[in-house]
Amino acid sequence: MDDAIGLEGRLADLAASGRRYAATPAAREVRARGDRRRRRKRAARATGGAVTAAALALGVLSAVRPGPQTAPSAATPTAAVSASPFVAPAPAPGEEYASELGFVYHAATVKGNAVRVTVAQVRTEKGIVTRTGAVHRLTLKPETPVEVKNMAGGEAGDMRAGELVDRLSAGPQWVFAVDHDAEGRVQSLREAHWLAAG
């Protein structure tokens, strides 16, 4: 009988001990989540204040300019990248690619073998190319396929972007159709030899 009472007492102590250890990690986890939430809120408030202060400072600096400045000539085209971030064209429903037309130039090899190019977008009217003013940069895989004709001496052929760095390193000369997939990646370039630069 004493053994049964002793056993029951030990089992009760063991159960209480188990409950104590089972509850503690859950409570610790709740406290830790609360601490993380508070830290994130503090960081967000601090970052928001810093961003607001920077925006105000930038506004004051842009409002107070040091003397008169001449506006850039409208006749001189610039190769500056447009301020708004480039958004790759999306394929139409049922289409695999979407194409943008543009001068492809200032090619250079970067990050090993990748090819960085500048694209000045154009539109066509009756086969004549006119610039839209949008300029952006793309980084291409060196194995990106490129269809060429005039660049290859009038013979249509296929090359790779890595092979054309020297020919595309100068200023705007060649117009290409740049094919983007649904994720915005460049899949190929096609020389728009059928267009006349205006």
Q: Which of 20, 53, 69 is the last residue of a domain?
A: 69
Residues 63 and 107 in one domain: no
Residues 64 and 116 in one domain: no
Residues 55 and 107 in one domain: no
Q: pLDDT at position 154, please? A: 84
In-domain check, residue 93: no
pLDDT in tens, 57-108: 445 444 444 444 444 444 434 444 444 577 888 888 888 889 999 999 999 9
Residues 51 and 122 in one domain: no
In-domain check, residue 65: yes
**Residue 65, strand partner residues:** none
| Mean pLDDT across 109-121 | 92
Q: pLDDT at position 47, please? A: 54
Q: Which of 50, 69, 88 is the last residue of a domain?
A: 69
Residues 63 and 102 in one domain: no
- Distance, in Å, from the CA atom of 187 to the CA atom of 38, rounded to the nearest integer, reads 45
Q: pLDDT at position 8, please? A: 77
- Distance, in Å, from the CA atom of 53 to the CA atom of 154, rounded to the nearest integer, reads 58
* Length, in residues, of the chain: 198
Q: What is the mean pLDDT of the chain?
A: 75
In-domain check, residue 15: yes
In-domain check, residue 33: yes
DSSP string for residues in 21-62: HHHHHHHHHHHHHHHHHHHHHHHHHHHHHHHHHHHHHHHHHH
Q: Dihedral (C-alpha) 101, 85, 138, 99: value to the nearest 10 degrees? A: -30
In-domain check, residue 49: yes
Q: pLDDT at position 64, please? A: 46
pLDDT tier, 134 (very low <50, low <70, confident <90, very high otherwise): very high
Residues 53 and 123 in one domain: no
Is the pLDDT score of 173 beyond 60?
A: yes
Is the pLDDT score of 142 beyond 70?
A: yes
pTM (two decimals): 0.55
In-domain check, residue 48: yes
Under 8 Å between Cβ of 149 and 138: no
| Mean pLDDT across 101-120 | 93
DSSP-derived pairing of the beta strands 128-140 and 196-197: parallel
Range of the domain at 184: 98-197
Residues 155 and 105 in one domain: yes
Residues 103 and 65 in one domain: no
Residues 50 and 6 in one domain: yes
Q: pLDDT at position 45, please? A: 60
Helix (H, G, I), strand (E, B) or coil at 6: helix
Q: pLDDT higher for 23 or 152?
A: 152
24: left (phi over 0), alpha (psi -120 to 50) or beta: alpha
Residues 169 and 117 in one domain: yes
Number of separate domains in the chain:
2
pLDDT in tens, 33-63: 556 666 665 655 655 555 454 444 445 444 4
| Mean pLDDT across 15-23 | 59
